[in-house]
Chains A and B, each alone.
Chain A
Amino acid sequence: MEGLTLSDAEQKYYSDLFSYCDIESTKKVVVNGRVLELFRAAQLPNDVVLQIMELCGATRLGYFGRSQFYIALKLVAVAQSGFPLRVESINTVKDLPLPRFVASKNEQESRHAASYSSDSENQGSYSGVIPPPPGRGQVKKGSVSHDTVQPRASADQQEPASPIVSPQQSPPASPHTWRKHNRHSSGGNSERPLGPGPFWSPFGEAQSGSSAGDAVWSGHSPPPPQENWVSFADTPPTSTLLTMHPASVQDQTTVRTVASATTANEIRRQSSSYDDPWKITDEQRQYYINQFKTIQPDLNGFIPGSAAKEFFTKSKLPILELSHIWELSDFDKDGALTLDEFCAAFHLVVARKNGYDLPEKLPESLMPKLIDLEDAADVGDQPGEVGYSGSPAEAPPSKSPSMPSLNQTWPELTQSSEQWETFSERSSSSQTLTQFDSNIAPADPTDEKYHTNPTSPLLVKPSDLSEENKINSAVKFASGNTVDGYSSSDSFTSDPEQIGSNVTRQRSHSGASPDNTAPPPPPPRPQPSHSRSSSLDMNRTFTVTPGQQQAGVVAHPPAVPPRPQPSQAPGPVVHRPVDADGLITHTSTSPQQIPEQPNFADFSQFEVFAASNVNEEQDDEAEKHAEVLPVEKASDPASSLRVAKTDSKTEEKTAASAPANVSKGTTPLAPPPKPVRRRLKSEDELRPDVDEHTQKTGVLAAVLASQPSIPRSVGKDKKAIQASIRRNKETNTVLARLNSELQQQLKDVLEERISLEVQLEQLRPFSHL
């Protein structure tokens, strides 16, 4: 065959192997049996082995001469690297890893052989404690070593270059080292480079003298080296990363005296790499980093999972183990490996190839240290993983609370809206009207607010309502979630809110019909009636958002708006004086009417006990408002009237609101009945007035008829009306949603109530006893 050029390491390695096979110490011919055994250990298919043998000429010659043997070994390396077997490949393939031979003894070696670049990183973790007949081996090694000494000399030079790993190791331990070397060499040159590429030149490190010990890797070999050695040989799993350097064989003679030291060192070295805290030595780390660079030049970058997969598949570990290694090493579970993660994974691969069992958790020394984002501090992946899984899991739950709160707020809103409605009814006719409006309006703003502020729905609602409704006295409720506040604010807010927008119109209709003369221009906030309510609030509410008021107008039949508009718009002002007189009377009656009508509407709705009442009520109110519109113009007088009414009604309302509020907090069941009852009373009271009102409504109608005489405001009003219609529709939908949610809640509550009642009944007999 053509000349075979071997690198120094290869030379040494092959020499050792040769000597290993050279049982008969012929130095020329290797025993076929051994060779075959060796080849089998190479884990190559039989046909490949045959091919190799043929290529190297052994079949031709019938025996393995040194050259054939070397060629064969080279071919084995080629085959193991996945290259096609060709004669030319012997020399052409560069950076060929040392052939790997897996045997019981050689397992360790093979692990070590996990491709460590032959650069000074002689991480020749030999585990290859191959204990062939030590004596023989030793002897042979002695001889072989001599032979190989020279070639190794160059390798020895590497030693100094190579990061002397085992500082601890005492170089001298020659006998031990020698023995080790013997073992190693006999073991077939445990220099099995792991995986592709770099093989350790353990030889180079040769324990020639002091360097020998140094050559040993990361020296912390456990104290009982020799025993370990022996055990290594017998028990591959321990996989001492000893780098048997043939060179050390040389030292055998001189080093013999040092028995266990070197071995100990070597063992220590090996074990330190694995056993001890899975520490990565510097050379190893350097090697890993180099490998990392080949895949990802940026040391701070990531290796994507696919690339890593390819890389680690080369190590020929089973997929299951590779996946386990990945689990352990991918600390941040991102599907990519950072430098630290990569080093850890590589280290684990090396360990595994040397027979170490993979840990369940990532050893601390292997954990990625630099990045603090992953829970690197945790011991092992699992805690980190748990942490990760936990945190994301927590996030959703955290979100969910917001959602329920939202849901809660909605029902509460609806409840509050109901309450408002009740309040409105109570407070005064006008107020009730306005409150209806406010109820509607608050619904919109509250809805918005709910989305933003899921918490404290009750508080939110009132506040929202107040601000948005401004018009609505109900908004005042927000100021305090107290019924009292409601009651007081009812009347007042309703009046002032009669701002020019539709909402204002409605408000005016609702309660402030008398008050609403001010709808368009600055609402007659300063109405005397407002004095009671927190006028401040009213101002606030007014200033807040006129638009909201309009929104609050939701559910008012389109018919209604037009009327208010004229009144609200400049009309009101005009009308006021005009209608003031006429309206006064009307207003006086209108307040009564208003409350009556709304009361009726509310009452019926509440009886139905559905949140949808809001809309209905609103509609009713709107209608009533429409009638009252003309009356509203006389806002001031009306307000005064209303005040009176509201007083009477507030009492009722407060009473009703109180239960309503309470019920809000508890179950929707409570409030409705009470308000209903209240309303009934109020209605009763009002009924006598109905007749009067009806009469007055007729008057109002007449007044309204007169309104058309004021067309100028109509034009402006149209747009406003349309806008308000839109808003109302939106509010409508919102309320409808609220309604459905509330109803759902209602059902749930009813169920709970039933179950509670049942329990109560069960308990009662006992209590009596």
Chain B
Amino acid sequence: MAVCIMVIVKENYPFYVRSIPVENELKFHSVVHTSLDLVDEKISAMGKALVDQRGLCPGLLYPTEDYKVYGYVTNSKVKFVTLVDSSNTAHRDNEICSMFWKLHNSYTDVTCNPFPNPGDRIRPRVFDNMVTSLMTQVC
């Protein structure tokens, strides 16, 4: 179950944060932030290869005792990071990647909206709904 999903823009600050259990939110945020380095590292390691049209899915970034951190990078250097509860070991990389693809799609849909300026919080409810569904579905 994805306990936290965060969208980070190119400048490495969070653009959208969503957590399920409200407690320990700070912990999630810090974990996600620290894992940004891992994302970059993996990207540089992977090089130009493996850039499938769906975006770079480095997958598992770092497993901690409680959670696993998964990352995903789009072509425009927008990163999605998600924390998944370790109790769900059944999650394969592919599932995570497909989840990220869905996230990416709805993110692009949101970005098409010209009214909110880039940098504003993601307001659209559709995005929220989708994220919520993802978070519950993953679990």
Contacts and interface: CB of A to CB of B under 8 A. Distances in A.
A322 B109 contact: no
A309 B114 contact: yes
A396 B54 contact: yes
Interface stretch (B9-17, B20-28, B99-107): B99-107
Interface string A353-385: 000000010000000000000000000011001
A389 B98 contact: no
B58 to A, nearest CB: 15
A388 interface: yes
Q: In the complex, which range does the number of interface residues on chain B fall in?
A: 20 to 34
Interface string A396-432: 1101100010000000000000000000000000000
A319 B117 CA distance: 9
Given A323-B123, A385-B106, A388-B109, A396 B114 contact: no
Contact of A309 (B97, B101, B115): B115
A400 B94 contact: yes
A733 B21 CA distance: 49
Contacts of B116: 319-320, 323
A393 B112 contact: no
Interface stretch (A31-39, A328-336, A599-607): A328-336
A322 B115 contact: yes
Interface in A330-347: 330, 333-335
Contacts of A323: 113, 115-116, 123-124
A360 B106 CA distance: 17
B94 A397 contact: yes
Nearest to B107: A389
Interface in B47-84: 52, 54
A327 B114 contact: no
A70 interface: no
The A contact surface, by secondary structure, is: helix
A305 B105 contact: no
Interface in A195-248: none
Contacts, number: 74
Interface residues of A, number: 33
Contacts of A404: 94
Contact of B98 (A305, A326, A393): A393
Given A323-B113, A327-B124, A330-B113, A393 B94 contact: no
Contacts of B139: none
Contact of B130 (A320, A389, A396): A389
Interface string A533-564: 00000000000000000000000000000000
A397 B98 contact: yes
A334 B108 CA distance: 9
Nearest to A386: B130
A324 B126 CA distance: 10
B8 to A, nearest CB: 20
A392 interface: yes
A80 to B, nearest CB: 21
A335 B114 CA distance: 7
A306 interface: yes
| Residue with the highest number of chain A CB atoms closer than 10 Å, among B98, B113, B114 | B114
B138 to A, nearest CB: 13
B106 A305 contact: no
A327 B113 contact: yes
Contact of B106 (A319, A326, A389): A389
A383 to B, nearest CB: 10
Interface string B116-128: 1000000111100
B30 interface: no
16 contacts: A305-B112, A312-B115, A313-B115, A323-B113, A326-B113, A327-B124, A330-B112, A335-B113, A385-B109, A389-B106, A392-B101, A393-B101, A393-B102, A396-B54, A396-B98, A404-B94
Given A324-B124, A385-B109, 10 more contacts: A305-B113, A309-B115, A319-B116, A330-B113, A333-B108, A388-B109, A393-B98, A396-B101, A397-B94, A397-B101
